[in-house]
Amino acid sequence: MEEHRSQKSIFQLRNGVGEAAQAKRSPSVMSRSQSPSPAPSEAYQGTTPVVVGVCAMDIKARSKPMREIITRLLARGRGNIQVKVFGDKVILDEEVVNWPRCDILISFYSTDFPLQKAVAYVKLRQPVCINDLAMQELLWDRRAVLAILDHLGVESPQRVEVSRDGGPKISEELRKLVEDNIGLKMEWRTDPTDFHVREDGNAIIVDGRVIEKPFVEKPVSGEDHNINIYHRDGGGRRLFRKIGNQSSIFDPNLNMPRTDGSYIYEEFIDVENAEDIKVYTVGASYTHAETRKSPVIDGLVRRNTEGKEIRFITQLTNDEMTWARKICEGFGQRVCGFDVLRPKNSDRSMVIDVNGWSFVKGNEYYYDRVAEILADLCFKVSVNPTRRTIAQDALLLQNAAPSIQTSLASSPASTNGIGEGTPTQATRDGGADTGSWMLKMNVTVFRHADRTPKQKLKYTFPVNEAWTQPFIELLNGEQEELILRERPQLEQIVDAIETARTIIAEQGTVEHATMNGRPPSLNAQDDLSKLAQLQSALEKKIDLPGTKAQLKPSFKKIKASVVQGVKGDGQVILKEWDGGEGQGVSGGGMVTSGGHVVNAPAVAVVSKGPQSPGAVGGKRLEKFQLVFKWGGEFTHAARYQSRDLGENMRKDLSILNKDMLNDVQIFTSSERRVTASAEIFAAALLDTNSPHNTAFATGNQINPSPLGLPIPGTPTRSSRSSEAGSLFSDRGHPAPTYKLIIRKDLLDDSNAAKDLMDDVKKRLKLLLRNGESGRRPELTWPKTMNAEPAVVVQEVIELLGNFRKIMRRNYETMDVDKIQERWCCNDDPFLFRERWEKIFDDFCETKREKFDPSRVSELYDALKFSALHHRTFLFAIFSEQGTEKQGKEDRKLHELYARAKALFDLVAPQEYGIEASEKEEIGVLTSLPLMRKIVEDLEAVRNSGGSGSSVYFTKESHIHTLVNLVLQSGLPIANPRIPELDYASHITFELYERSGQHSKTDKEYSIRLSISEGAHSSNVLDSALDARHALSVKPRRRLTQHLDYGLVIEKLSKHFDRVPADEDDESLETLDVPLAMGDISDSSRA
C-alpha cells in the first residue's frame, strides 16, 4: 500500500502552465495558472534529460492525438526530453523488471492492457505517474464510479442498482487506498435485490423504490456499452458502441428490462438542444469541453472528413468546472474524460459517466497546451534535487485535496528520490533496457491517394484481318505494352481508325469479297460501330488530363521446324524444333521412307505455316488489345492525404526511433497518380523545415544514399523532374532533393496473371446466386442487408432506372450550370452526365443473365467521387424536387449507396481470386517480386544492425494481391477479414530488435504486420466536408501479433523459388523530389 502511494501525480506537482496561451483562444480554456512557464530554449539549459515512458497499447500509444502531443513535447525539450514507448511486445511478453525505466509515466488501461502488471511496474520503479494506475480499476464498475461521485458531491441522475453478483469486485488494497485518499468506505450489500416490474409495465420497483419510464438501463461493467432506454407504454432504444455511422436503433419490442445480470437504472434526462457534453481534463487547471449530438435522438452519427464525430467547443459552468477538479483529483486521473448532461429548462447539470484517460481529437490548441504542461513537468523533474521537493512544492499542490497532499508528502518516495546534482532515476539506473524492443525497420506498401473515376473502352482486334494492320503498325516493332499519352500520339490512333474504317467499308462489299475469293464479313457493321465509338470517345477526351491509350500485344513463340528428310516422292519431312531462333541445322536427317536414309541438304529453321502478320523476331502476334482510358487522375484531396501520410510517419518514427529517418528508400510505380502520391509523401516525410520535426531538430541529417538507392547526381537511365513541383516552395533558394526510384517491375501492372484473372471474372456471377453468401462464410455480406445478393442487384437496377429518369428530366428543366458554383478535378455537368449515362446503360440496358458483376466497382467509385467532390450537384440532379436539400424521407441515394457498397465488398476482393488457391496463385503471379523485395529489406537491416525505412507506392491490384499473399502464407492472422482497401490503404511490416542481456551480439528479433483501410468512410454521403474534399486515412490495425522473425521470413518466402532474386540495377529510373513542402492549399480546387 505504501509502495503504491509513492506514485506522484504531475497535477499535484503543477496545476498550471503559465500565460503562454492567449486570452482570446478557444473558449474551452477555463482557467490558467498565474506563473509563466520558462521558454523551452531557456528551461533546459544545463539540465539532465528526463525520460517520459508511454506504457499503453500501441493502438493508443501511437494514435494521432498521442503522436501530436509527444512530437510537440520533444520539440519543446530540444533533446533534453526522451520518450520511450514501451510497445505491445514489451507490455504483453516481458516481465516488469525488464520494462524500460523512466522518470515520468504515461499509462492507462484499454482493451488487452495488463493493468495489474503495470501497477507492479510502478511499485518497482516508482516513476512520477500522470494517472494513478491502481485507481483505474474503479472505472471498470459503474457502481463504484457513481459511489465516488456521490461522495465527492458531484450531481448525477436519480438511480437504483440491481446487483445480482454480490457487488463490485474491489480488492482490499484498493478499498484502503480509496479510503485513505478521499475518505470513502467502499461497501455494498451482498443480499439479493428485490426487483419487479409494476403491473402496468411503466415502472420498475427495486427494494421499494420506484423508477418510472422512461428510464435508462446500464450494465454495471464500464466496458459494456449495450445500454437500453425504455419508453413509456412500450418500445425503446438500444445504444451501443458506434458501428459506422450508427450509435443506436429504435426497437418497438423493447419492453421488459433485462434480468440476466446486474444493472443500474437511472431516470431518463431530456437534455438541452438534444446534446450531451464530453469534458476533458488535463490536471485540475485546464479543461476542454465539447458538445455532440445525443445518441438517443436518432442514432445517426455526424462525422467530419477525418471520420471523427462532429463536436463543438462549449463553455463549462462554475459547477461543472468544480466537478472537473473533483473528478480529476478524486479518481486520481489527471488526464480524464467524463460525460455531462444539461437537462432542459434547468440550470443544473449531471455527470453520467467517468471514462478515465481521454484525449481531445483534432484540436491543435489542445495538443499545444498538453505538451506545454508535460514539458513544464519534465523541467521540474530535471531541476529538483529530490522527489520529496517536487511533491511538496506549494505552487504545485495548491489545488490538491488535503488528504492526497498528505499521502504524497508522507510517501516513502523520497527515500528513492533524485539526489542533488545526480542524474534522473531513469538515466542514472541506466544503460540499455534489456527488455526493450526497438523498432528497427518499417516497410510499408501504400496504394495511391484519391483519384477521379476511371473510365475505359477496351477492344480486342483479330490479328489476321487486313483492317487491323494500321493498329499493329503503331507498335513499331515493339513486343511490350505501349502507353500513348501525348496528343500527337493519340492522333495517330485516330488516323489508324479512319484507315481501318475505310478498309472495312471496302471489304464489306460483295464485289470486293468475291474478287478476293472470300465471303463478305458478317461482322463488318459491328466492327464499324465499335471503331466509330472509339473515335468519338478519343476525339472528345484527347485533351483531358489522364487520357491515354494502351497497346497490348500478346506474342507467342513461333513453332519452328527442321527438315528431317525427304520422302521418295520428294516431299520434305519436317520435325518441330524449339532450339532457338536464327540457328541453322546442318547435314541431313533420318527419313523413314522405305527404310532408306535420305540425305537432306543443310537447312535453316523454318516457320510452321505461313508467317503471320505482326510476327516479330521469331514470335507470332497472337492477340492485340487497345485499351482507351481517361480519368484516374490525382485529385486535390489526394495532395492532403499524401502529405498527412508522410507527416504522420515522420512523427511516428521520430518518436520510436529517429535513426530510421536517416536511411529511407522510397519506390514508386510509373503511373502518374502513384508517383504524385509518392512525391508529396516524400517531401512531407523528409521535410527538414517542419516545426515539429524532432528527428532533424536534434542534429540528425538525412542520408540520401541508403542501401540500394542511387546517390543524388549519379547517372541514371532516366531522371526526370518532379511532376508535382508546383506543390513545393523553394523558400528563396533551391530545396534539397531526394530521388524516388521507379520500379515498374515491382509496382506496375503485370500481365502474368491476366488469364487466371479473366477466368475468375467470368465466374464472379456465381457470387450472386441465391444462398452463395451463406455457403461461403469468408465472403463479406452484411447481416443488415436482409436480401440475397441477386435481389440486391435487382434493387440497384430499379433505383438506377428511377434516377436516370430524374436526372434526364432535371437536365432538361434546370440550369445545371448554376447548381454548383465551382467544380474541381476538371469535371463539369457534361462529363458528370456522360459518366452516369454509361453506368445507367451498363446496369439498366443489360440483360440480367449478361450482367457483369465487376460493373459494381464503377458504380461505387462514381458514387464516392460525386459524394466527396460534387455533393451539391449529386443531390440536386438526383432529387425529385430538383434541390440539394434532402428531406428525412428522401434517402434513395443512401439506399443506392448502401447496396452498391454491399455488392462492392462482396465482388471486388474476389476479382483477385474466388477460391483460396486462386488468391494465392494470382498473388504469386502479380506481387511475388514485391514480396521478395520486402523480405530482402527486412533481412538487410536485421543483418546490418542498422535502422531504416522502405516505402513502396503502387496501385489497387498490387495491394490486394500482396495482402492475399500474406493471408495465404500460413502466418497466424489476428483478423483475416480484411476491410475495403480504399485510396491510401497500406500494409506495414515492422521489424523489432531486443539487445541481448549478456552481449551485444545476443539479440532477438520479431516482426509485426498491420494494415490500414485507407481514406475511408462508412457512408460518405453523411460525412461533413470542407474545401479539401479529403477523407482522412484510417489508422492501422493489427494484422498479426509480434511473431518470431524466423517464422515470418519462412512463411513469406515459401514461393520464392518461383521468381528470380532481385538484381541491383545501377541504372534505375529515378524521379527528383524537392524536400521542402510548400502550401498545397493553392491547388485545392484543381
- Which CATH number is 235's domain given? 3.30.470.20
Range name among 197-211, 595-609, 740-754 with the lowest pLDDT average = 595-609
Q: Is residue 612 part of a domain?
A: no
Say if CB 1071 and CB 675 are below 8 A apart. yes
Judge whether 520 lies within some domain. no
**247 and 149 fall within a common domain:** yes
* % of the chain surpassing 90 pLDDT: 49
pLDDT at residue 264 above 70?
Answer: yes
In angstroms, rounded to a whole number, what is the distance separating the alpha carbons of residues 755 and 338?
58
| Residue where the block lists cell 438501463 | 217
* pLDDT at residue 309, rounded to an integer: 82
C-alpha grid cell for residue 434?
Answer: 534489456
* SS3 category, 248: strand
Q: Phi and psi of 433, rounded to 5°?
A: -80, 120
Please give the C-alpha separations between residue 323 and each of 34, 138, 351, in angstroms, as whole numbers. 21, 18, 9
Q: Look up residue 235 and give its DSSP letter.
A: -
- Residues 287-301 have a mean pLDDT of 87
How many Cα atoms occupy the beta-carbon half-sphere of 345 within 13 Å?
Answer: 1
Higher pLDDT, 620 or 173: 173
Assigned domain for 691 exists? yes
The DSSP result for 310-353, as a single string, is P-EE-PPPHHHHHHHHHHHHHTTBSEEEEEEE-BTT-S--EEEE
pLDDT band at 262 (very low <50, low <70, confident <90, very high): very high
Same domain for 945 and 1077, yes or no, is: yes
- Range 864-893 average pLDDT: 83
Residue with cell 464530453: 278
The residue behind cell 485507407 is: 1014
Res 216 pLDDT > 50 = yes
Instruction: Report the pLDDT value the prediction gives residue 55, as an integer from 0 to 100.
Output: 97
pLDDT confidence band for 887 (50 / 70 / 90): low
Distance between CA 657 and CA 695 in Å, rounded?
9
Strand, coil or helix: what is 694?
Answer: helix
Same domain? For 684 and 801 the reply is no
Q: Is the pLDDT of residue 1064 over 70?
A: no
List 1010's β-bridge partners, or say none. Answer: 988, 1038
Give the span between the Cα atoms of 840 and 799, in whole angstroms: 10
C-alpha triplet 71, 73, 74: angle, nearest 5°? 65
Residue 732 has pLDDT above 60, yes or no: no
Contact in structure between 924 and 958 (CB atoms under 8 Å):
no
Last residue of a domain, one of 570, 590, 607: 607
Q: What is d(CA 399, CA 210) in angstroms, rounded to the nearest whole number?
A: 40
Region 111-127: mean pLDDT is 95
Residue 723, helix vs strand vs coil: coil
CB 660 within 8 A of CB 653: yes
What is the DSSP code (8-state) at residue 582?
A: T
Interatomic CA distance for residues 996 and 228, integer angstroms: 53
What tens digit of pLDDT does each residue of 674-717 get?
Answer: 999 999 999 999 975 665 555 444 433 444 333 333 333 333 33
- Residue-wise pLDDT for 361-381, tens only, equals 889 999 999 999 999 888 888
pLDDT at position 417 over 50:
no
| DSSP per-residue codes, 599-646 | ----EE-EESSSPPTT-BTTEEEEEEEEEEEEE-PBPHHHHHHHHHHH
Q: Which three cell numbers stand for residue 41?
A: 530554449
**Residue 791: burial class (beta carbons within 10 Å; 0-12, 13-18, 19+):** middle
Mean per-residue pLDDT for 7-33? 34
Taking only Cα atoms into account, the Rg of the chain, rounded to an integer number of angstroms, comes to 35
Is residue 467 assigned to a domain? yes
In a domain, residue 447? The reply is no
Query: Nearest CA to 379 among 808, 46, 777?
Result: 46
Read off the DSSP letter of residue 544: S
Q: What is the dihedral of CA 910, 914, 918, 919, to 10 degrees?
A: 40
pLDDT tens readout for residues 1039-1053: 999 999 999 999 999
pLDDT band at 1070 (very low <50, low <70, confident <90, very high): confident
Residue range of the domain that includes 167: 138-356
Rounded Cα distance, 484 and 261, in Å? 69
**Residue range 492-506: mean pLDDT, rounded:** 87
Question: pLDDT tens-digit profile of 592-616?
Answer: 333 333 333 333 333 333 344 555 5
Strand 584-585, strand 603-604: pairing:
antiparallel
Percent of the chain topping pLDDT 70? 75
The C-alpha cell that represents 289 in the structure block: 469541453
Calpha distance 885→267 (Å, rounded)? 37
Per mean pLDDT, which range of 34-43, 615-624, 834-843 is the poorest? Answer: 34-43
* Same domain? 853 vs 887: yes
Could you give the strand order of the β-sheet that contains 312-313, starting from the edge strand earlier in sequence? Answer: 312-313, 286-293, 275-282, 335-341, 350-356
756 falls within a domain:
no
Q: Residue 439 domain-assigned?
A: no
Residue 1065: CB atoms within 10 Å: 13
Between CA 866 and CA 1020 the distance in angstroms is 10
- Over range 1064-1085, report the average pLDDT: 61
Mean pLDDT in residue range 783-799: 88
Specify the amino acid at residue 264.
I
What lies within 8 Å, CB to CB, of 1025 at 6+ separation is 305, 868, 871
Backbone angles phi, psi at 645, to 5 degrees: -60, -45
**Is the CB of residue 589 less than 8 Å from the CB of residue 575?**
yes
Asked which of 30-44, 326-340, 502-516, 608-622 is least confident by mean pLDDT, the reply is 30-44
Residue finishing a domain among 912, 938, 969: 912
- Whether residue 1060 lies inside any domain: the answer is yes
- The answer to whether residues 976 and 1040 belong to one domain is yes
Kindly state the average pLDDT of the residues 836-853.
87
Question: In angstroms, rounded to a whole number, what is the distance separating the alpha carbons of residues 948 and 202?
Answer: 65
Domain check: are 819 and 779 in the same one? yes
Amino acid of residue 356: G
- Measure the CA dihedral 237/239/243/246, to 10°: 40
Which residue type, as a one-letter code, is found at position 553? P
Residues 121 and 260 in one domain: no
**What pLDDT does residue 569 have?**
52
- 178 shares a domain with 285: yes
CA dihedral 468, 471, 477, 479 (to 10 degrees): -90
Query: Residue 623: what pLDDT?
Result: 80
pLDDT at 699: 38
pLDDT of 427-459, one tens digit each? 555 445 666 899 999 999 999 999 999 888 888
407 confidence band (pLDDT: 50, 70, 90): very low
Phi, psi (degrees; rounded to nearest 5) at 652:
-65, -50
pLDDT at 889 over 60: no
Rounded Cα distance, 29 and 321, in Å? 11
State the distance between the two ends of the chain, measured CA to CA, in whole angstroms.
Answer: 63
User: CA-CA distance, 658 to 74, in Å (whole number)?
Assistant: 12
pLDDT, residue 1022, reads 83
**Other CB atoms closer than 10 Å to residue 40's CB: what's the count?**
19
User: pTM (2 decimals)?
Assistant: 0.79
Rounded mean pLDDT of the chain?
79
Examine the fold and report which residue of 895, 912, 929 is the final residue of a domain before the chain moves on: 912
* Among candidate residues 454, 471, 631, the one with its CA nearest the CA of residue 541: 631
Read off the pLDDT of each residue in 323-350 and give the average, rounded to a whole number. Answer: 93
Mean predicted confidence (pLDDT) in 904-925:
92
Taking the C-alpha atoms of residue 838 and residue 812, their distance in angstroms, rounded to an integer, is 18
What pLDDT sits at residue 27? 34
pLDDT in tens, 536-557: 888 888 887 778 888 888 777 6
Look at 38-42, 469-473, 527-531, 960-964 and tell me which has the smallest mean pLDDT: 38-42
pLDDT band for position 89 (50/70/90)?
Answer: very high
Degrees, nearest 5: CA angle 132-135-140: 130
Between 377 and 736, residue with greater pLDDT: 377
Q: 816 and 671, same structural domain?
A: no
Higher pLDDT, 341 or 188: 341
565 pLDDT tier (thresholds 50, 70, 90): low
Domain count, the chain: 6
Q: What is the mean pLDDT of residues 905-920?
A: 92
Q: At 1020, phi and psi to the nearest 5?
A: -65, -20
Q: What is the DSSP string of 112-132?
A: T--HHHHHHHHHHH-PEESB-
Q: Based on the domain organization, do 146 and 283 belong to the same domain?
A: yes
* Residues 684 and 727 reside in one and the same domain: yes
For residues 586 and 669, membership in a common domain is answered with no
- Could you tell me the three cell numbers for 173? 488494497
